[in-house]
Structure 1
Amino acid sequence: MRALLIGGTGTISMAISRLLIEQGWELYLLNRATRVNDFEGTNAKFITCDINNEDKAKELLKDMKFDVVADFIAFVPEQVERDYRLFNGKTKQYICISSASAYQKPLANYIINEGTPLSNPYWQYSRDKIACEEYLMKMYREEGFPVTIVRPSHTYDERSVPVGVHGTKGSWQVIKRILIGKPVLIHGDGTSLWTMTHNSDFAKGFVGLMGNAHAVGEAVQITSDETLTWNQIYQIIADALGVKLNPFYVSSAFLDACSTQDFRGSLIGDKANSVVFDNSKLKRLVPGFTATTRLDQGIRKSVKYVLEHPERQIEDLEFDKWCDKVVEALNNAVEQVNK
């Protein structure tokens, strides 16, 4: 079986690439030759190209056909329209990576399956993913384009520790605050439900959909079945670090109102909502699928990796100062009210 991954070296797609190699797929990666060293000694082949350069991509791919093409870096409708032009008639299955954040916000039912309506007035990212899905399903219905939609939720790997509220440079500054005992911002009161999925588990579900005729024309979510509160998630991180957690609770609306970041989208339109995923459809399509990495196990691996790799410890002093200001402002407010 021959697969082309557009991207193929990110948090989600790296685990898929590794599993495809392990299973003996003929694997091609179309990207700007990032992380080539990670594939030394494998049969993976790189097609060096920026996919946004459609003319160059068309030239490089002109004599090639694939069993599966999966695009991990298509975010807006124009990009999936480009993929349709490039791969219509050249693949037996095209997989678009959408997002579980596209599901209805606010939710009418906290249990989510593929029949949950798609609607997110809070986040442009999610609305763009919805538009991508709509275009591709239109091409499936009208032109027979063999599309499969995959909706991941919060997927992580060993290279960073997943958290809820962080700055633009990743999660390290939050981990550092936990390590040194500073107050750590947790949205809401920490009791909303959330699901995090290790990329190795996501890869098992994804590869099971590849070349699967029953998945064509379908949308499928891939997540763990483990659901935890944000309080539990942050406590797992602190336990892995071997320190005491100092939580500081802030409403998502307040965080959005006083931040230059898009917390309206990433919190109000996503993480602030309680979600429980029903993966029955995935398990019907991929019999035997089970997510086997518990969050505490995955977090320990992530913490160990980040602490052992200084290049992953990216300081974000602006975010750190902002956290301190939020804490100070709310503590001052409490003092004023109690006078």
Structure 2
Amino acid sequence: MKILFIGGTGLISTACSELAVQRGYDLTILNRAQTKKISAPPGTHVLTADVHGDFNALVKTLEPHKFDVVVDWIAFTPEDIERDLQLFKGKVKQFVFISSASAYQKPVQNYLITEETPLENPFWQYSRDKIACENLLMIAYRKDGFPVTIIRPSLTYGLTQVPLCTGSWLHPYTILDRIKKEKKVIIPGDGMSLWVCTWNADFAVGLVGLFGNSRAYGEAFHITSDEVLTWNQLYEQTAETYGKKLNPVYIPSDWLAAWDNEYTGSLIGDKANSVVFDNSKIKRFVPEFNCTVTWTEGVKRAVDWFEADSSRQTIDEQANQEWDEIIMAYERSFPKEK
């Protein structure tokens, strides 16, 4: 089976690339010539082009190649999907769009999320764009039989990222460094909302297992762990990995959003909500899918990876300063002792 990953050296896609190669698939990765934390795995073919750049140049790059399955990891807007439809309609057996579980209805009406949960998120433009992408693809499926499969990952992590909800995405060691030094760390709300974190290699089993499955055309799937933890547990178990005591500061999500609107989407539109995912659908389609890496094990692997090489331990000083300012401002608002 010939597979194209648009993107393919990112946090989630790297694990999927590795599994696809292990299973003997002929994998090509299309991305820009750019330094990555983790390079494309051995055994893959690499095409260099900017998928968001010159369309004619992109067509020329892809023209000599034929693929059975195309996975677009970096489509975020309807314009991206319109480009993909121009490129691949009538030319592939399956097109896989990586959407987002953040697209599910907010505020949450039922803690148990299924693929039938409505798609609606007034708090986060990122999620609304993903919904618009899904709508375009389903119109193409119903009208023209375009063989789309939609995937909605939730918070998925691996060696290079520890996805605590108040961290620095570009410099993920920053929050680990604070925990390691027992500095104060922000936890939204009271830390008791429920969340699910999924190890990227576990996710890969579900995704790769759908390749070439015609029953998955016109279907949407989320692929997550069944382990449900509170944010307190997620932070505390990270601190335990270092043998340190967690020093949390609990701040309401709406207070954080008032400080910086970026928190509106990522917290109120996503991580401040308690969610549990019903994974029965992906398990029906891919019986081998079963998440085996617990958060305790996964976060230990990630911490060990960061601590093994000081070059990985980059710090986001701007984020650190902002977190300190937020904590000081919030603590100043406490009532004075009588």
For the pair 1:125 / 2:144, whether they are aligned, the reply is: no
The runs of 5 or more residues in structure 2 that have no matched partner are none
Q: Which amino acid aligns with 2:93?
A: K
Report the equivalent of 1:155. 156
Q: Is the 8 A contact 1:100 1:221 kept in 2?
A: yes
Match of 1:334 in 2: 334
The residue that corresponds to 2:56 in the other structure is 55
Moved more, 178-187 or 274-283: 178-187
- What is the aligned partner in structure 2 of residue 296 from structure 1? 296
Match runs of 1:86-165 below 5 Å: 86-165=87-166
Tell me the SS of whatever aligns to 2:282.
helix
Q: How many residues align?
A: 336
Shift of 1:327: 2.0
Q: 1: distance between equivalents of 2:162 and 2:308?
A: 13
Task: Go from structure 1 to structure 2 and tell me whether the alpha carbon gap of 1:192 and 1:54 turns closer, same or farther (over 3 Å shift).
Answer: same
Report the 3-state secondary structure (helix = DSSP H, G, I; strand = E; otherwise coil) of the residue aligned with 1:314.
coil
Structure 1 unmatched runs, 5+: none
Question: Partner letter of residue 126 of structure 2?
Answer: Y
Contact kept? 2:14, 2:40, Cα under 8 Å: no
Q: Does 2:2 align with 1:2? A: yes
Q: Any conservation in 1 of the 2:11–2:161 contact (CA below 8 Å)?
A: no
Deviations 1:73-116 (A, max 9, x none): 00000001100100112110000000000000001101001000
Structure 1: distance between partners of 2:324 and 2:241: 24
Instruction: Report the TM-score, using the length of structure 1 for normalisation.
Output: 0.96
Q: How far is the alpha carbon of 1:64 from its aligned partner?
A: 2.3
- The residue number in structure 2 matching 1:46 is 46
| C-alpha separation in 2, matches of 1:168 and 1:20 | 26
- Note the 1:212-291 alignment, pairs <5 A: 212-259=213-260, 262-291=262-291
Q: Is the 8 A contact 1:166 1:173 kept in 2?
A: yes
Following TM superposition, the consecutive aligned residue runs of length 4 or more in structure 1 with deviations greater than 3 angstroms are 33-40, 167-170
Identity %: 49
Cα distance in 1, alignment partners of residues 331 and 34 from structure 2: 45
CA distance in 2, matches of 1:312, 1:43: 26
* Counterpart residue identity of residue 310, structure 2: P
Tell me the CA shift for residue 141 of structure 1: 0.3
More displaced 10-residue stretch of structure 1: 322-331 or 139-148: 322-331
Contact 1:64–1:90 (CA under 8 A) maintained in structure 2: no
Question: In the aligned structure 1, how far is the partner of 2:311 from the partner of 2:197?
Answer: 24
In angstroms, what is the RMSD of aligned CA positions?
Answer: 1.5
Higher mean alpha-carbon deviation, 244-253 vs 27-36, is at 27-36
**Cα distance in 2 between the residues matched to 1:288 and 1:21:** 18
Contact 1:160-1:312 within 8 A present in 2 as well: no
User: Contact 2:9–2:40 at 8 Å: present in 1 too?
Assistant: no
